[in-house]
Amino acid sequence: MPVPSQQIRYILSGGGDGWEILHRARQLAAAGDPPLNLCVGEHDEPTPPEILAAMDASARGGHTGYAGLAGTPGLRRALAERVSARQGVPVGPSNIVVTGGGQGALFYALNAMLDPGDAAVVIDPYYTVYPGTIRTAGGVPRIARARTENGFQPDFATLDAACDGAKALLVNTPNNPTGAIYSGETLEMIAEICIRRDLWLISDEVYDGMSFARPHRSPAALPGMAERTVVVGSMSKSYAMCGFRCGWAAGPEGLIKLMTDLALNVAYGQPGFVMDAAEFALGRPDIEARICGTFARRHEIARRALAGAQAARAGASDGAMYLMIDIRPTGLSGRDFARLMIEEERIAVMPGESFGEAAAGHVRATLTLPDDQLHTALTRLAEVAGDLAAGRRAAPAA
Ligand code: PLP
């Protein structure tokens, strides 16, 4: 028998099944007993009908053939304008490649930066697919742990040590899974390390519309960074277009050219009608403001639901669609607490351990339920954590 690729078999190595709770939630829903689901980073509202109409008109108008490797000229222009304004880096269409979601941009960027065996650093807790995407590019993931006590901002000594001898650093602000927004000092520290150690930076900013506590800032805008940074963006989160699989990478022209060569050999470009829908959406900032505003409101609701809870403490989450909740006073791991919540309360949250070791003893809640259900779910979660911590409720046998 021929042997499959070692590299691809190794993609998921080292991780447990972080999606166990999500699978269970889906199983319960299929059996007619759906939990309140705070597991998935996907909107509870559908894609706005105006965007669907734009896609429909484009497809019916005939834009159903191969549509250009790096993206349509119109979308690349619209994205260049957006990145120039939002990220604060003056770019043109030749600095943009349209990809299959932000995920596609991560894949292209890592492949364009890494040679086999090169190390790329990720900050723990991390978006679950980062290590696997690095491995897919032949790279070796290295972990720099951030601490809950620091609001999940990385600290200099840990990050600098992890970057020793690495080729690339991957950061994400506003952050999934923590909801943290990196401070100005954190961004400057990241830039200093990248320049001194001559690293590529991938700055995953797919939540750049959801920076609620302060205006969004990109490390790409800091002096000396534009030439070594690829900004990853996406229509998925800001426009409720997850299933459209439309994202982009913005970066130095030479690297974008390599990524476009990859696009030729991987996907042969993205669908024209999807790109036309994205271009339409980018011309409607009111849609982005409304969708992102929902999550600003829900951060407030979540904070109110957990206010005063001693055993379920909301972390410094003021961006994206996530809240990391510290449940260590219960004495349970995030995994055991999440299991108890779904089995006994029908509330689904992700164990912090699914995102690395730094979030052990935490659970991540996505703010993707209608306001009243979100409030109910988090109020109940806080009560259960309080009862466990006070010994009023027994932890289930392992
Ligand atoms: N980056 C982060 C931090 C994410 O949370 C996600 C999705 O959840 C992505 C990238 C990929 O999103 P998409 O491929 O839908 O654009």
Amino acid (one-letter) located at 153 = Q
CATH number at residue 339: 3.90.1150.10
Q: Do residue 75 and residue 158 come from a single domain?
A: yes
Cβ atoms within 10 Å of 45's Cβ, excluding its own: 11
Q: Do residue 41 and residue 97 come from a single domain?
A: no
Find the range with the poorest average confidence among 220-224, 293-297, 314-318, 336-340.
314-318
Q: Is residue 88 part of a domain?
A: yes
Q: Ligand 1: which of 108, 176, 216 to mutate, most ligand atoms within 8 Å of CB?
A: 176
Residue 312 · residue 386 · CB < 8 Å: yes
Q: Do residue 197 and residue 224 come from a single domain?
A: yes
Output the CA 102–ligand 1 centroid distance in Å. 5
Q: Is residue 394 part of a domain?
A: no
Q: Do residue 274 and residue 303 come from a single domain?
A: no
- pLDDT recorded at residue 356: 93
Q: Is residue 73 part of a domain?
A: yes
Q: Is residue 1 part of a domain?
A: no
Q: Which two tokens stand for residue 215?
A: 């205006």
pLDDT tier for residue 14 given thresholds of 50, 70 and 90: low
Query: For residue 370, what are the domain limits?
Result: 6-46+286-389
pLDDT of residue 207 exceeding 70, the answer is: yes
Closest ligand 1 atom to residue 247 Cα is 16
- pLDDT recorded at residue 277: 98
Cβ-based neighbours of 257, under 8 Å, separated by 6 or more: none
Q: Which of 243, 258, 284 is the last residue of a domain?
A: 284
Residue 93 · residue 72 · CB < 8 Å: no
Output the CA 206–ligand 1 centroid distance in Å. 6
Q: Do residue 221 and residue 167 come from a single domain?
A: yes
Q: How many domains does the chain have?
A: 2
Closest ligand 1 atom to residue 42 Cα is 8
- pLDDT recorded at residue 11: 81
Residues in contact with ligand 1 (CB, 6 Å cut-off): 41, 101-103, 127, 172, 176, 204, 206, 234, 236, 242, 247
pLDDT of residue 317 exceeding 70, the answer is: yes
Amino acid (one-letter) located at 392 = R
Q: Taking the alpha carbons of 379, 177, 194, 210 in that order, is the dihedral positive or negative?
A: negative
Q: Is residue 373 part of a domain?
A: yes
Q: Is residue 10 part of a domain?
A: yes
CATH number at residue 135: 3.40.640.10
Residue 190 · residue 217 · CB < 8 Å: no
Cβ-based neighbours of 268, under 8 Å, separated by 6 or more: 66, 69
Q: How far apart are CA 104 and CA 269, in angstroms?
A: 11
Q: Which two tokens stand for residue 267?
A: 């996907």
Q: Do residue 253 and residue 297 come from a single domain?
A: no
- pLDDT recorded at residue 13: 65
Residue 217 · residue 187 · CB < 8 Å: yes
Say if residue 326 is exposed, middle or buried (CB neighbours under 10 Å; 0-12, 13-18, 19+). buried
Q: Which of 249, 284, 319 is the last residue of a domain?
A: 284
Q: Do residue 278 and residue 290 come from a single domain?
A: no
Q: Do residue 132 and residue 241 come from a single domain?
A: yes
pLDDT tens for 180-203 read 999 999 999 999 999 999 999 999
pLDDT tier for residue 107 given thresholds of 50, 70 and 90: very high
Output the CA 176–ligand 1 centroid distance in Å. 8
pLDDT tier for residue 17 given thresholds of 50, 70 and 90: low
Q: How many residues in the chain?
A: 398
Q: Which two tokens stand for residue 309?
A: 């809870």
Rg (CA), the chain: 21
- pLDDT recorded at residue 125: 96
- pLDDT recorded at residue 394: 87
pLDDT of residue 371 exceeding 80, the answer is: yes
pLDDT tier for residue 398 given thresholds of 50, 70 and 90: low
pLDDT tens for 112-158 read 999 999 999 999 999 999 999 999 999 999 999 999 999 999 999 99
Q: Which of 265, 284, 303 is the last residue of a domain?
A: 284
pLDDT tens for 345-359 read 999 999 999 999 999
Task: Output the 3-class SS for the chain.
Answer: CCCCCHHHHCCCCCCCCCCHHHHHHHHHHHCCCCCEEECCCCCCCCCCHHHHHHHHHHHHCCCCCCCCCCCCHHHHHHHHHHHHHHCCCCCCHHHEEEEEHHHHHHHHHHHHHCCCCCEEEEEECCCCCHHHHHHHCCCEEEEEECCHHHCCCCCHHHHHHHCCCCCEEEEECCCCCCCCCCCHHHHHHHHHHHHHCCCEEEEECCCCCCECCCCCCCHHHCCCCHHHEEEEEEHHHHCCCHHHCEEEEECCHHHHHHHHHHHHHHCCCCCHHHHHHHHHHHCCHHHHHHHHHHHHHHHHHHHHHHCCCCCCEECCCCECCEEEEECHHHCCCHHHHHHHHHHHHCEEEEEHHHHCCCCCCEEEEECCCCHHHHHHHHHHHHHHHHHHHCCCCCCCCC
Q: Do residue 257 and residue 314 come from a single domain?
A: no
Q: Do residue 207 and residue 143 come from a single domain?
A: yes
Closest ligand 1 atom to residue 204 Cα is 1
pLDDT of residue 258 exceeding 60, the answer is: yes
Output the CA 309–ligand 1 centroid distance in Å. 30
Q: Do residue 106 and residue 247 come from a single domain?
A: yes
Q: Do residue 74 and residue 10 come from a single domain?
A: no
Output the CA 170–ligand 1 centroid distance in Å. 13
